[in-house]
Structure 1
C-alpha cells in the first residue's frame, strides 16, 4: 500500500516537471531569437567614424614614418662621411642654416628699408634746397629668398613660352598625319638635347639680339627662360599630339554635320577631349623646366637658386655644405608643390570641361 502511494507521488512529480522543463527550454529559445532579431549596438571600434579614420590615419602616418626614418638614418650616417669641408651635415645643422638664411633675409630687408628711408629724407632736403634729386636702387647682394623668387619667375616665363608653342603645334600634328610625319623627326632629335648644349647657343643669340644698355628684361633672365622653354616644351607637344589624335572620329563627323567652323570645332570638340593629355604634358614640362633651370643658372651664373648653390660651393666655408643641402631640399619641395598645383588645376578643369 505504501509502496503504491510512493509510486503515484513519483509519477505525478515527473509529470509536472516535464512540462516545466519544456517551458524553460521554449523560453530560452524565444529569448535567444529575440536577441538575434534585435541589432546589437556597434562599439566605438566598429563605428563608421573609426572605419573612415583608419585609412586616413594610415595614409598620413606611413609617409610621416618614412620621413622620420630617413631623417634618423641621415643623422646616424652623416658623422661617418668625411668631405673636404668636414663631416656631412646632419638634419639639425641643415635646419640651423635654413634659419640663418632667413635671418640674413630679415636683416637685408631692414637695411633696404633704412636705405630707402634715408634716400627719401635726402631727396626731401634736396627739393627744399632746390637741388637735383637723385634716385638709386638698393645694391645689396640678393638673399636666398630673393634667389627663390627669381627662379620661380624664370621658370614661369619659360613654362608659359613652352606651352604657348607646344599646344598649338601639338593640336595641328594630332589632327594632321602629314604634319605629324614632317615634324616628328625634328621632335625626336631635339627632345634629348641637354640644356648645357642649348645654353651657349641661346646666350650668343640673345646677346646679339638684346643690345639695349637698359633692356626691359635682363639678359640673364631671358637666357634662362629660353633654355627652360627649349628643354621643357617636348612633353607638352607630344602629349597634345596624342590627345588630339585620339579624339573620337564620330565627334568630328558630328561637327561636319552641324557645319561647325574651325574655331567652334576646336573649342567645343577638340580641346575638351584633349585636355587630360595636355595637362599631363604640362605637368611633365613644368617638372623638366624646374630641373633644367637649376642647371642653367648654375652653369651660366644667372641669378637664382642654381647660382646660389654654385656660389656656396665656390665659397667653401664650414657652413657651405649645409647651405647647399638646405637649398637642395628647398628645390625638391618647390618642385613637389609646383606638381601639386598643376594636378589641382588639371582636376579643376576636368570637372568643368564639357564636350
Structure 2
C-alpha cells in the first residue's frame, strides 16, 4: 500500500472519528433533555440518545476498505521476521565460521559481540529508523522496492537475532572433532575442502540450534518493532486495538496473543525439523 493511500485512509478515519464525537455530543444532549422530562417524551428522548450513541460507536470503529485484514497482518509479520532472520543468517554464519576456525579472528570479534549482543531492540529500533529514513529521504513512495516500515522492523529483527546463530556457529566450528582435522591433514585437503566436507557438516547441528533460538528471538522482537515502526503487522494490530478502546478491545488483543504464540510454536517446530535433518545419531525431540 502506497503512502498516498495511507494518507487517504487516515483522512477517512479522522473524518469518522469527528463524526463520532459529534454524534456522542448530540446523544449526551438528548440524555440531558430526557432527564428533565417524564412519561412518553422522556422515553422518546432516551431512545434517540441510544440510537445516536450506537451510531457514534459504529463511526469510531470505522475501518477503511483498503486497510489490511487480520490475515494480511499475519502474513506481513511472517514475511518481515523471515526477511530479518535471513539477513541475520547470511551475516552470522560466515562470521561464526571464521571465528571458529581462527582463534585470532575470534579474539578480535569477541569484544564487539559481547558489547552489542545485550543491546535491547528498543535501542536498535531508533537507530534503524534514523538510518533508513535518511536513506529514503530522496525517494518518493513509488520509487522504492521495500516499504520503509517493513525495512525498519526487519533491520531490528536482524540486529537482535543474529547473535545466537553467530555464537552457536562459532562453538560448532571450534568443537569439530580433532580426529576429523587430523584426517584432513593426512589427506592434504585444501582450505575449501576442509570447510565444505568436514567443518560445515560437523557443525550443522549446533548451527541450526542457534538459528532456532534466533528465529524465536526475532519473532519476539518483531511484535515490539511493528508497534513502534507502524509496520502493518500483528504488533501494529495489537497497538491499534489498545488505542481504540472499544468494547471488543480486550477480546481482540487476547486473541492476538494466542495467534502470536501459535505462530511462534510453528516457527519453532519448523526449525526443529530442519535441525533434526542435519543431526547425527538420534535427533533430539526438543
TM-score category by the smaller chain? 0.7 to 0.9
Match of 2:132 among 206, 212, 236: 206
Cα distance, 1:351 vs structure 2: 5.9
Q: Deviations over 1:223-264 (max 9, x none)?
A: 111100000000000000101110122212221221212221
Match of 2:157 in 1: 228
Q: Which has the larger radius of gyration?
A: 1
**Match of 1:312?**
241
Which secondary structure state, in structure 2, belongs to the residue aligned with residue 303 of structure 1? coil
Q: Provide the residue aligned with 1:126 in structure 2.
A: none
Cα distance in structure 1, aligned partners of 2:92 and 2:173: 13
Matches within 5 A, 1:118-129: none
Structure 1 residue 336 displacement after superposition: 0.5
Partner of 1:144: 70
SS of the residue corresponding to residue 145 of structure 2 reads: coil
How far apart are residue 190 of structure 1 and its match?
0.7
Is 1:294 the equivalent of 2:220?
A: no
Q: Partner of 2:278: helix, strand, or coil?
A: helix
| CA-to-aligned-CA distance 1:268-324 (integer Å, 9 cap, x gap) | 100111011101000000000000000111122221000000000000000011000
Structure 2 Cα separation of the partners of residues 256 and 201 of structure 1 = 46
Query: What pairs up with 1:338-353 in 2 under 5 angstroms?
Result: 338-350=267-279
> In the alignment, which of 86, 108, 112 is matched to residue 182 of structure 1?
108
SS at match of 2:149: helix
Q: Which residue of 2 aligns with 1:196?
A: 122
CA distance in 2, matches of 1:311, 1:157: 24
Q: TM-score, normalised by structure 2?
A: 0.73
Q: Tell whether 2:83 aligns with 1:157.
A: yes
> After superposition, where does 1:103-114 map in structure 2 within 5 Å?
none
1:133 aligns with none
Q: Does 2:182 align with 1:253?
A: yes
**C-alpha deviations, 1:194-245, integer Å up to 9, x for none?**
1110111111111112332120111111111110000000000000010111
Partner of 2:197: 268
Distance 1:349 1:252 in 2: 20
TM-score calculated relative to the size of structure 1: 0.59
Preserved contact between residue 205 and residue 276 of structure 2 (Cα < 8 Å): no
Q: Mark the runs of 5 or more structure 1 residues left unpaired by the alignment.
A: 1-107, 109-137
Distance 2:274 2:122 in 1: 31
After TM superposition, the structure 1 stretch with the greater mean CA deviation from structure 2, 178-187 or 247-256, is 247-256
Moved over 6 A (4+): none
How far 1:179 sits from its partner (Å)? 0.9
Cα distance in structure 1, aligned partners of 2:65 and 2:210:
40
Q: What RMSD over aligned residues (CA atoms) do the two structures have, in Å? A: 1.6
